[in-house]
Amino acid sequence: MGDGRPLVPPSAVDVDLSGVAAGWDRTMSDLEAGMWRMEEAQPRLRSPIVAVDVLDESPDWDRLVRAHEWASHIVPRIRMRAVEPVFGLGNPVWSVDPEFDLDYHLRRVRLPEPATFDHALRICRHLACEPFDKARPPWTAMLIEGLDDGRAVYFVKTHHSMTDGMGGIGLMTLLHSRRREPTPDKPDRLPAPPENLNTVTAFGEEVVTQLRRTPGLIRGLVDGAVRTAAAAVTDPLGTAGDVLGYANSLRRIVTPPPAEGSPLLRDRGLGRWFGVLEVGLPELKAAARAAGGSVNDAYVAALLGGFARYQRARGQEPSPVPMGMPVNMRTASDPSGGNRFTAVRFVGPATVDDPTERIAKVRAIVLGLREEPAIDALDVAAPVLSRLPTWLLANWYLSQSTGLDLQASNVAGVPVPVYLAGARIDRMFPFGPAPGCAVMATMVSHVGVCCIGVNLDTAAVADPKLFMDCLQEALDEVVALGVSDGSS
């Protein structure tokens, strides 16, 4: 669930170099370390975050290379690899790659003619499925040219341990400009010097990090204990109620949704299939307003309607959809990188045929989840989970996520026209990772258009084209609410 704040890229000459990369943690958080390590034991848990930009023309290649080089000066993390401490004693440490090679990370390909956007999307899907070389910084980008209408596609993939969806969009804005012409006088600085961190010295840094964190953790625990004890003395019944309320909230947050997924979507595998949808933001807002919900409510309701249509088309009655949704916890003061999100799970009301009623039910569920006291359970549990053996952590996470048929994310995007090395970005399609779930749908708003990227597990969704057709029909049904209401 996004917070609705659009990201407006600054003019290149206005970039404040003093704060762009400030606050980035040198050591992975417990959550990030878990995502980094789990996929080694269970490849189905790979966590790439992918963005696919559709450009109105091929950008200037030399200028594009210079833009990436410049961005790597501004954000040192772009040049950093993850170094595991010796024997895995602690979390990986980010270190400037002494062999950083931009040519390895940024590539270019021309499709044989005649080529369409669908052909480019297949390339993007194959690139997304390739595992990262963990000895290098975990990101890759590719310019795909040769589309029959003169357009081009820019693909970028980062590992989830590097940043979350909102952070990824924030990093992307560094490459964007609000004009086609180059900016020769934009500020710059020297790249971060190479480091030769090894497993032993990484362990040393982890020890120092933990020593620095411990006093704060102890103070927090002591302060919390003192406050709780004081409250228990002055208001014992109220304190007991708060503790019981948090415990009940925690049970609701961590317990899998009380619904089984559709038998049609039961299998899981390594195959992925990318599909895209788009709808005008004003039209989706009008539909949401007509049903008394938010844009996110209308979006989720459309996805659930697509699931119901797909089940009917495959000869089964619709069933409720166990689903998950990331909740953005990022604040304006947080750095661009890193992960600042938590996750909630619930039963999506896909069996509700009427789209207005479906939107209302989604809204009631989502509002209730936002008020859960234990919504931060993922952060609370991360230190314990990250200490589990990797195989055990991977199997536990897989068991939790495999029961989900859908994960849906909504990220605020860019409201103004932007350019990449002289080419205008017409669409920006996001593809979130689908570790263990059947379908991952992600929506980003871009200059008045909601761009929806759908990442399907091909073992679960046997007929991807039919599934996308069903999603399109359900989206059209939701949008029609605004038209019939006269709000658009």
Q: Known catalytic residues?
A: 160
Residues whose CB is less than 8 angstroms from the CB of residue 448 and which lie 6 or more positions away in sequence, other chains included: 280, 281, 282, 415
The DSSP call for residue 130 is S
The residues that bridge with 424 in the sheet, in sequence order, are 419
The amino acid present at 452, given as its one-letter code, is I
- Nearest CA to 422 among 143, 93, 210? 143
- Report the distance separating Cα 285 and Cα 301, nearest Å: 13
**486: region left, alpha or beta (phi > 0 left; psi from -120 to 50 alpha):** left
The token duo for 175 is 């490459």
Question: What's the first-to-final CA gap in the chain, in angstroms?
Answer: 24
Q: Which helix (H) or strand (E) is 67 found in, with range?
A: helix 61-74
- Chain-centroid distance of CA 239 in Å reads 37
User: Which residues, listed in sequence order, are joined to residue 348 by a DSSP beta bridge?
Assistant: 321
Give 456's strand partners.
273, 439
Bridge partners, 325 (sequence order): 344
CA dihedral 97, 99, 105, 109 (to 10 degrees): 180
Q: What angle do CA 100, 105, 108 make, to 5 degrees?
A: 140
Q: Which two tokens stand for residue 341?
A: 């999100």
Distance from C-alpha of 115 to C-alpha of 148, rounded to nearest angstrom: 5
* SS3 (DSSP) at 177: strand
Non-local CB neighbours of 394 within 8 Å, separated by 6+ positions? 37, 38, 39, 40, 41, 42, 45
